Amino acid sequence: MFLKRLTLIGAFITLMGSSVYAADCGPAGQSIRILASDFPAIHAVAGAAEDNCGGAAAEFNRNHTTEARQIMNAAQTPNPAEYTSVIVANSTLVQLMNDGLVRPLNDLVGKYGGHLKQNQLITIDDNIMAIAFMANSQHMFYRTDILGQAGVEGLPATYDEVLAAAEKIRAAGIMEHPLVMNLKVGWNVGEVFNTIYLAHGGDFFKSGSAEPSINNEKGIAALNTMKALVEYAHPDHLTQASDQTQGLWEAGKAAIGFMWGSRGGVILDDEGSSEEVVSNTVLSGAPTVTGGSIPGATLWWDGITIATNVSDSEAEATFAALVSGMTTEMVSKHNDDAIWLIDGFKPGPAAAGVSATASGGAKSYPMFAQMGLLHNALGAELVDFLKGSESAEQALTDVEAVYVAGAKDAGYL
């Protein structure tokens, strides 16, 4: 009798381990609706979830749109919510949490998340609010052939070294504007300031309050660094975001880039660029200030959340489906699509920049509830300074004034 039971259990375990056994999809016959941004890594995770559990669910809908963050709050506020899950990043998690639209996942992780790693769990005061699956950050891209031609030794690791290298390239007459950065007015400009400000060790808010604290020496130093870099950037930099900078890079028109890690794989693949550019492109960590240790970048993660305003069984089925997609098999199939936080990821050359930046101790994009307002203010008000029509002090005063006006209207101050 005992032996029989043992074989049964044994058979069951083998069944669990084999790929014949479908993933545990939780309650069957539920409706699973996912809202997500639109890039390969997210397609990989959501696609794996659909393959595993699409059959068990009554419906499985995925809406991949780059406008996800613009519609998510409106879509999730009604009860029942439009989507049972939104795939978020640092800042969009805060955006949903501000309106109470995501539910704590502690119980669900206990039930279905056995294979998740501790560092995938995004917690706020011990409540698990999201499960991260990939990381991203800005970092440096270099063209080693051009650096060599201009007589730059090694890869620049600080802002001063970056500037010196850019000057050498310009002086050697190779390129007038060797640097590319995402400086499009609005979110991108604000984000570049954030990275350099963090490298200078700055804090965005007075501790424990929503009062801004960027108008200080660190802020001014960060702005001056930014201005010095911009001198070497393409004249149209204020209109350039990721697609344009990637285009310039692939066209061989830049030698030093400060771009997103998620563009690394796309640049290093065999499409859209020449062999010369691809074989000489090297990704390395974000720069620090001279004598400093914090890389100038913001670390980002992307992860899944579950909506508050849906039934518990829908929530459970959605969670089970999505975590069933976060497996080693999925990662090995899509290894170069992202910097995966899931077991089984083999970092290739495209991951070098993000790994170096993260292990160098870069900070995460701040999760303050009111951060979005400050970011918007930065994006709008730093432009005058970059154009040269305003001093750094004035620009930071303007940013704080705009932020305070907005924060008062939004109820944060």
CA distances from 316 to 56, 110, 216, 249, 253 (A): 13, 12, 48, 44, 50
- Interface residues with another protein (CB under 8 A)? 69-70, 73, 90-92, 94-95, 97-100, 119-125, 132, 135, 176-177, 184-186, 205, 207-210, 234-239, 251, 299, 301, 341, 358, 362-364, 366-370, 372-373, 376, 380, 383-384, 387, 390, 394, 398, 401-402, 405-406, 408-412
- Comparing CB distances to another protein, the nearer of 225 and 298 is 298
Q: Which C-beta is closer to another protein: that of 58 or that of 405?
A: 405
Least spacing, CB of residue 287 vs another protein, in Å: 18
User: Is the CB of 30 or the CB of 90 nearer to another protein?
Assistant: 90
* Residue 262: CB minimum distance to another protein, A: 16
Among residues 92 and 324, whose Cβ is nearest to another protein? 92
Q: Which is nearer to another protein, 7 or 207 (CB)?
A: 207
Residue 4 beta carbon to another protein: minimum distance, rounded to whole angstroms: 45
| 160 versus 390: smaller Cβ distance to another protein | 390
Q: What span, in angstroms and rounded, lies between the C-alpha atoms of 149 and 168?
A: 10
Q: Are the C-beta atoms of residues 302 and 171 closer than 8 Å to each other?
A: no
Q: Which is nearer to another protein, 99 or 329 (CB)?
A: 99
Q: Which is nearer to another protein, 278 or 367 (CB)?
A: 367
CB of 136 to another protein, least distance (A): 11
Q: Work out how close the CB of 5 gets to another protein at its nearest, in angstroms, rounded to a whole number.
A: 41
What minimum distance in Å lies between the beta carbon of 368 and another protein?
Answer: 5
Closest distance to another protein from the beta carbon of 371 (Å): 9
Which residues, listed in sequence order, are joined to residue 60 by a DSSP beta bridge?
32
In the complex with another protein, the residue whose CB is nearer, 98 or 216, is 98
Minimum distance, C-beta of residue 320 to another protein, in the bound complex (Å): 22
CB of 86 to another protein, least distance (A): 13
